[in-house]
Amino acid sequence: MQRPPQARLPLLRSPGGLTIKLIELAHFTPNVEALTEFYETLLGQPPVTRSDSMAIFMSGDIKIFIHKTYTPVPGELPAENHRAFAVEDIDAACRKLQEQGIQADFPPKDYYWGRSAYLRDPDGNLIELIQSRPASQE
């Protein structure tokens, strides 16, 4: 049985009042080449972009980001596997989460890929929130 094509998913409103969508699975590894070959075989397609230190695959609307492990310097983001969720307004989302008792380990900041914040779930897993578009365009 053939699976139907994956529909483009809109941002979804969570019970906590945030509009949110899973957009990325990031995996850090000392062996980018081996992990890239594994995902190329698993997904049956080459990465959409690749270098010695990273590779990106797309699975529907989800980016699978393979990145070389590094030792962060103080204040730098940790080189940890994480999930990334798009939100409409990163600053408002972080304020709302803080009101609900969830603190960001790394508050909203502009990076070369966009405006992001990082927090941890109860098991200690790193979660990235990234602004999907400028809040002024809402």
* Residues in the chain where the model's pLDDT stays below 70: 1-18, 133-138
Please state the pTM of the whole predicted model: 0.81
pLDDT tens digits, residue range 111-134? 999 999 999 999 999 999 999 754
> What is the reported pLDDT for 19?
80
* DSSP H stretches of helix in the chain: 32-43, 90-99
> What is the reported pLDDT for 25?
97
Give the domains, in start order, of the chain with CATH numbers.
12-137 (3.10.180.10)
Strands (E), 1-138: 12-13, 19-29, 49-50, 54-59, 62-68, 82-87, 104-111, 114-120, 126-131
